[in-house]
C-alpha cells in the first residue's frame, strides 16, 4: 500500500508519527541531557515523551479537530471527548530503553471508531521502520505487506514478553508463566517496547507475545497490525475483548491456541480450578524462594 492508496486518516497518523520520531531522534543524539522524572517506581517520563506527544496531538487535531485524544501523558484532556473517533497515543513506548541509550523504542498511534481500532501506526525512529494497518486492508512494514510467522508448533517458537517492573506487580506469577513457556519454546525475549513487540509478531520476526499490565495506548495499534497480518490478539484466556483488560497475548492462530493452553490458567478470567492450579504453582515458588533465603541467612 503506497501513500496514494492509504486511508487519509492513516496518512495523518503517519505524518504525526514521523514528526514525533524526528523529536526523539534529535534527543537521542544527547540522551544524557534529557530531563527525566519518575511517575512511579521504575516508570519514567521524559521531556521527550511530552514533546513527542504534543507534536502528535497538534498534527492530529489540526486535521481532525472534532476527534478525541487518549494519550499516555496527557490522558483525555485534548479533543472532543464525546466523539466516536478516539486517537490512542503512546508518544514514546520504551522510555526506559531510551533514557539508557538502548535503541529499542517506538511511537504508537491508533484510531478507534466506536470502540474498534480502525487505523494503526507503529514507527521505530532508530531504524526508520514504519508499520501501518487499516482495518480490512492488511498490514505493512515500509509499504511492503507483512504476515505473521507460519510455525505451527510452540516448541520451535521465539516469544516476546515484558517483565514486571512495578512494586505492585505479581512477580511470582510472572516467573511461573515464564518458566512454563521457557520449557516449551525455542526462547523468550524481552525487548522493552510492547507496541514494537506486537509489530514484530505481525511481521513474523517473533512468533508470539504476552504481557500483563498494559494500557490501551500500548497495544491498540499493535493489535490491529497483528490481526491484519493474519494473527490473533486477546487475553490469556483467548478472548478477543482484551484492550482494557491488562492482559495481552498475540500470535498466529495455531500458536495462539497453544499459548492459551499454557498461559490460560494465569488469566484473571480463568476458571476457579485453573486459578487454583496457578496459585498452587506460585505458592510453591514462594516457598522455594523463602527456603533458599533462609538457608543463606547468617547463623
pLDDT digits (tens, 9 = 90+) for 119-163: 999 999 999 999 999 999 999 999 999 999 999 999 999 999 998
Q: Is 50 exceeded by the pLDDT of residue 78?
A: yes
Residues 76, 191: one domain? no
Residues 86, 175: one domain? no
| pLDDT reported for residue 40 | 53
Greater confidence (245 vs 149) lies with 149
Percent of the chain with pLDDT over 90: 74
Q: Mean pLDDT lowest for which of 116-125, 243-252, 254-263, 284-293?
A: 284-293
Q: Look-up: residue for cell 514528526?
A: 19
| pLDDT reported for residue 269 | 87
Q: Is 70 exceeded by the pLDDT of residue 205?
A: yes
Mean pLDDT of 7-31: 96
Q: Could you please report the per-residue DSSP string of 102-127?
A: ----EEEEEEEETTEEEEEEEEETTT
Give residue 36's region: left, alpha or beta (phi > 0; psi -120 to 50): beta
| pLDDT reported for residue 31 | 84
Q: Is 70 exceeded by the pLDDT of residue 26?
A: yes
Taking each continuous run of H as one helix and of E as one strand, the counts in the chain are 8, 14
Beta strand pairing status for 144-145 and 158-161? unpaired
192 vs 93: CA distance, rounded Å? 8
Which string of b and e fits 174-187 if b means at least 16 CB within 10 Å?
A: bbbbbebbeeebee
| pLDDT reported for residue 3 | 44
Domain assignment present for 57: yes
CATH number of the domain enclosing 57: 3.30.540.10
Residues 72, 37: one domain? yes
199 vs 125: CA distance, rounded Å? 14
User: Is-contact 217 193, C-beta < 8 A?
Assistant: no
| pLDDT reported for residue 44 | 60
| pLDDT reported for residue 38 | 65
Domain that holds residue 181: 154-285
Domain assignment present for 290: no
Mean pLDDT of 83-87: 98
Band of pLDDT at residue 299, cut at 50, 70 and 90: low
Residues 134, 199: one domain? no
User: Is-contact 19 56, C-beta < 8 A?
Assistant: yes
CATH number of the domain enclosing 245: 3.40.190.80
74 vs 55: CA distance, rounded Å? 13
Mean pLDDT of 93-110: 95
Amino acid at each position: 500500500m503506497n501513500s496514494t492508496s492509504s486511508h487519509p486518516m492513516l496518512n495523518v497518523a503517519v505524518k504525526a508519527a514521523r514528526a514525533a520520531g524526528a523529536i526523539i531522534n534529535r534527543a537521542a543524539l544527547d540522551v544524557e541531557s534529557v530531563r527525566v522524572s519518575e511517575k512511579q517506581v521504575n516508570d519514567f517520563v521524559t521531556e521527550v515523551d511530552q514533546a513527542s506527544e504534543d507534536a502528535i496531538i497538534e498534527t492530529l487535531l489540526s486535521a481532525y479537530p472534532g476527534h478525541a485524544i487518549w494519550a499516555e501523558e496527557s490522558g483525555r484532556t485534548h479533543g472532543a471527548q464525546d466523539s466516536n473517533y478516539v486517537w490512542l497515543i503512546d508518544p514514546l513506548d520504551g522510555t526506559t530503553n531510551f533514557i539508557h541509550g538502548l535503541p529499542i523504542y517506538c511511537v504508537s498511534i491508533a484510531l478507534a471508531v466506536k470502540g474498534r481500532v480502525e487505523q494503526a501506526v507503529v514507527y521505530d525512529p532508530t531504524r526508520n521502520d514504519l508499520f501501518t494497518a487499516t482495518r480490512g486492508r492488511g498490514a505493512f512494514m515500509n509499504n511492503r505487506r507483512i504476515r505473521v510467522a507460519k510455525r505451527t508448533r510452540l516448541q520451535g517458537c521465539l516469544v516476546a514478553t515484558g517483565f514486571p517492573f512495578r512494586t505492585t506487580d505479581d512477580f511470582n506469577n510472572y516467573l511461573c508463566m515464564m518458566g512454563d513457556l521457557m520449557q516449551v519454546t525455542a526462547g523468550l525475549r524481552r525487548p522493552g517496547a510492547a507496541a514494537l513487540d506486537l509489530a514484530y509478531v505481525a511481521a513474523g520476526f517473533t512468533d508470539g507475545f504476552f504481557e500483563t499490565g498494559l494500557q490501551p495506548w500500548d497495544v491498540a495499534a499493535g493489535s490491529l497490525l497483528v490481526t491484519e497480518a493474519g494473527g490473533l490478539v486477546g487475553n490469556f484466556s483467548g478472548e478477543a475483548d482484551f484492550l482494557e483488560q491488562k492482559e495481552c497475548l498475540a500470535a498466529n492462530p495455531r500458536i495462539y491456541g497453544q499459548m492459551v493452553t499454557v498461559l490460560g490458567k494465569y488469566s484473571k478470567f480463568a476458571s476457579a480450578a485453573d486459578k487454583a492450579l496457578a496459585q498452587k504453582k506460585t505458592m510453591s515458588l514462594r516457598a522455594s524462594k523463602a527456603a533458599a533465603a533462609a538457608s543463606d541467612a547468617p547463623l
